[in-house]
Structure formats: structure tokens, C-alpha cells
Structure 1
Amino acid sequence: MSVVTIDARRSPLGSVNAVAKLAAALVIGVVLLLSIDPVSAGVSLLLTLLVLPFARLSARDLWARLWPIGASALIACLATTLYGRQSGTTYLEWGLLRVSDGSLSLAIAILLRVLAIAVPSVVLFATTDPTDLADALAQILRLPARFVLGALAGLRLVGLLVDDWRELGMARRARGVADSGRLRRLAGQTFALFVLAIRRGTKLATAMEARGFGAPVRRTWARPSRLRPRDGVVVVLATAIAGAAMTAAVAAGTWTFVLAL
């Protein structure tokens, strides 16, 4: 069972090599991590949204993946507004809570920064099949096959864990176990899922070893992973977005190296 619910073939990004997507996400993320300012993050987010329609992802798919990140960004924005750097005019002061020009500007910068880093990463990897990612990591980046295939097998089982949790809940309710006390029911069901996951992992490891996944020989791959010109286009586009964001921040005079804060 795959944890990727989006059909990668319906998106132009689905045919892009996973290593190129990883490089593109890293380029944008590293540049945005160098400075906390609203201009660079805002420009990067705007340019990402402009090219987002080419990914051909539905609004429902994007919302299902981005709403937790958006909620986290809003929480970080609120916390920074109340407890962030104090400078300029103070609008509210109550105990430890202080809202000022400095905290508001920093909160906006953090909100835009989180979204600017998360949106391209989510879009790129939402169209990536886990098997394609594992093939690219092992064949192009030369990561250890044992580690890559083990991680792939674990990722494939995430969907099964969700189904197991649902079935455990229905079975316990049918038997009248922990009908009262949510915390006790949660603890018991979590422990049962933990035991079930260990048993399934042990069986899977034994099966993989029996099929030669851990053999100390050079392994072959059913699907070769190669870099093509379109992969370079994605990396160049990400580099252009990151460069435009940095240039706009420097020109506006808002670029502040994070270590100088």
C-alpha cells in the first residue's frame, strides 16, 4: 500500500527525478533559512504560487497537505507577536505579553518564511512515489541500499498502521473494552498498536533477509533512475526563485543574516 494518494502521472512533476526535486527544495529552503525577513520569504512564496498551477494538483489535495503547516505557521506567528523581539512602538503590554512593531514584523516574517519553505517542498514531494525516491537515493546519491530499502518498506507500512488503528478501535468497542476513560483507552490501544507494529516489522525483516535484501553483493535495480534535462530545468527554476528572493531582500534593505540577529 502506498502512502501517496496523488497520481504522480497526472502532474508534469511526476516525471521529474526525485533527486532533482530534493535539490530544488533544498535550494529554496537554505536561502530562506539564511535570513529572517518578510521580503525574501514573500517574494519566494509569490513566485512559487505563480508556478503552482503547472503542478496540476487539485485544491483538495493541496489543502489536505498544507493545512497542518498553515496552522503551525499561524501558531508560531501568534507566539512571536506576543513574546517576540521588542522594538519600536508598544501596542500592548500585560505581564510577559508585549506587542510592538518589532514583534509584529518578526511574526510576519516567520509566517511567510514557514509557508515559503513548506509549500514548494510539499508540492514537489506530493508528486513523488516512494519507490522512485528510494531508487534515486540509492542509484544516484549512492546511499546504502539496506538503509534505503528499509526506509521504503517502513514508509509503505504507514497506511497499514492507520488501518490497524481503526480496526483495533472497532474491535475494542465491540468487546466492551475501555468504554469509559479516553486516556486509558488511548494508552491501551497505543500499546496494542505498538506490539502489532513490532510483530509486523519482524516478519517483514525476516522476509526481506530471506529474499536477499541484505546480501553483501552488488544489487541490481528493476527500474533505473537517471537524471534528464527536465530535471535540470526544475533545479534551475528553484535557483531562480531563490535568487530573486535574495536579490529583492538585499535591494529593499531587509536582508538580515540569521546569525547576526
Structure 2
Amino acid sequence: MSVLAVPAGKQAIFRVNPVAKLAAALLLAGVLMLTIDWVSALVALACELVLFFWAGLSARMFLIRTLPVWLAAPMAGLTTLLYGQAAGQVYWAFGLVHVTQGSSELAVATTLRILAIGLPSVVLFVTVDPTDLADGLAQIVRLPSRFVLGGLAGLRLVGLFIDDWRALELARRARGIGDGGAIRRLAGQAFALLVLSIRRGSKLATAMEARGFGAPIRRTWARPSTFGGREYALVGMGLLVALLAVVVSVATGNWNFVLA
């Protein structure tokens, strides 16, 4: 199985409604966005790492899927360390760069917060099937069916981008126009992919309209989407982790409300 495919498993997380996964991720992210301190982020991250063992992902798939988060977090922390708000003892300074006690603490908090928000979001949505998500958004959240079905159709086409990119690369090389500079080749191929995507999207929209997907009447759904005990349990775990992070942060005096 490709590591880019939606995995299947017997764990309970795979049977949870995607709406509950979305709610849990948004709830946790919303609470952590209220503060910039390393304690709340570290507590949330520690709880999440324990829960990840029941996510049904192999170590290889987990690392590949979450690699962008692992790369983005330290880069954001480094930027904050060098150019963050100067406060406290100055460790090193050169021009616009000031490494101080305040910027160091802020860098650690930023890195941990990105990991605590990004990792559970990626892990939860790895186990989401796009069709199940569309069913949940339309039947439970009551979003407009036209919007949901259009989003689902577009999401289904994302996987074709890789195949289109490879086909364009081979075609351009066969015509002798793909051997130039890397930047020029990348720009030309990206523009060609954009044109191809627009044409395909227009054809898809016309086909969906012809089949009645844009009709203003109330739609029926082939598969019912339910929200029960498993879903409430997942949202409850997200709320529990968020509250635990807040309580520990406030108790240790590290809570730093960003709107204060």
C-alpha cells in the first residue's frame, strides 16, 4: 500500500465519524492558540504522543505523513529565537539578530505549540476517507450539499496531480523541452499542470451539473452518517487534553494569554 493512500485498520479511530475528528482537532488547536507558553504545549504534546499508539499508523507512515510538521516546527522556532521579542538577558546580538532569554523561551514555546497542534491534526485526518467526511459535513453539520459535493469532487482529483505531473514531465522530455534549467523547467511544468487542472475542473463541473448535483432540491444520501458514543468519546479526549494543558499551565504560572 502506498504511504499516500488512506490506510485502513480495525482500530476504533477508523470507525469514528470524520466530523468528530475535525471537532477534536479544532478544539485542541483553539485552546492552544490562546496561549504562548511551553508548559501547555508540552503537556498536550505528551498526551498526544501516548494516544498516537492507538491511531493505527505504522511508525514509517507516521513519520512520512508528519514530516512537514517536524520540519516546520524547528524552523519557526529558530526564526523566533533570532528575531523574536528581546527580553531579559542577552546571550548574543548581531545587527537585527538578538538572542535573549525571552526570545529563547518564546522559541521553545512556538516549536512545541506547532507540534502539539499540527501532529494530531495530521494523524486524525490520515484516517479520514473523503467520502465519509463529505457525508458527515452534509448530514451532521448541515453544510450545503452543493458545496460539500464540489469539495469532495475536487479532493478526489488531488491524487491525480502526481500522475499528471509525471506524465507532463515525460511528455516534455520526449519533445526536448524538459532538459533546461531546473527553475525554468519547474515553472513551465507547473503552468502546464495549472492549465490541465482548470480544463479538467471545467469538464467535471459540467458533468456534475448534467447529472443533477447542483439541483436546489433536498438530497438523499446513500450512506447515513451517525454521531454516537465513539464520536463523543474522541471529542471528550480532545477536550480533556486541552483542559489538562490549561490547568497545568495556570498552576505553574506559565499561562501567557495572547489576547491580554
Which band: TM-score by shorter chain? Answer: over 0.9
- The residue type paired with residue 128 of structure 2 is T
Superposition CA RMSD, Å: 1.5
Residue 8 of structure 1 and its aligned partner are, at CA, apart by 3.3
CA distance in 2, matches of 1:95, 1:137: 51
- For residues 1-261 of structure 1, what are the structure 2 equivalents within 5 Å? 5-260=5-260
Residue 6 of structure 1 and its aligned partner are, at CA, apart by 3.0
8 Å CA contact 2:28–2:241 kept in 1: the answer is: yes
- The residue type paired with residue 111 of structure 2 is L
| TM-aligned CA distance change 1:5 to 1:13, over 3 Å | same
For 1:208-246, what per-residue CA distance to the aligned partner results, in whole angstroms no more than 9, with x for missing partners? 111110111111101110101111111111111001000
Large movers: runs of 4+ above 6 Å: none
CA distance in 1, matches of 2:26, 2:183: 40
CA distance in 1, matches of 2:184, 2:219: 47
CA distance in 2, matches of 1:178, 1:124: 39
CA distance in 1, matches of 2:11, 2:199: 37
8 Å CA contact 2:25–2:120 kept in 1: the answer is: yes
Aligned residue for 2:98, secondary structure, equals: strand
Residue 95 of structure 1 and its aligned partner are, at CA, apart by 0.8
Aligned residue for 2:92, secondary structure, equals: strand
8 Å CA contact 1:138–1:145 kept in 2: the answer is: yes
Aligned residue for 2:214, secondary structure, equals: coil
- The residue type paired with residue 244 of structure 1 is L
CA distance in 1, matches of 2:57, 2:11: 7
Identity of aligned residues (%): 58
For 1:43-87, what per-residue CA distance to the aligned partner results, in whole angstroms no more than 9, with x for missing partners? 000001111101121111111121111111111100111111211
Residue 3 of structure 1 and its aligned partner are, at CA, apart by 10
Question: What's the TM-score once normalised by structure 2's chain length?
Answer: 0.96
CA distance in 2, matches of 1:181, 1:111: 36
| TM-aligned CA distance change 1:4 to 1:149, over 3 Å | farther
8 Å CA contact 1:3–1:155 kept in 2: the answer is: no
Aligned residue for 1:259, secondary structure, equals: coil
Aligned residue for 1:99, secondary structure, equals: strand
CA distance in 1, matches of 2:213, 2:78: 48
Residue 162 of structure 1 and its aligned partner are, at CA, apart by 1.3
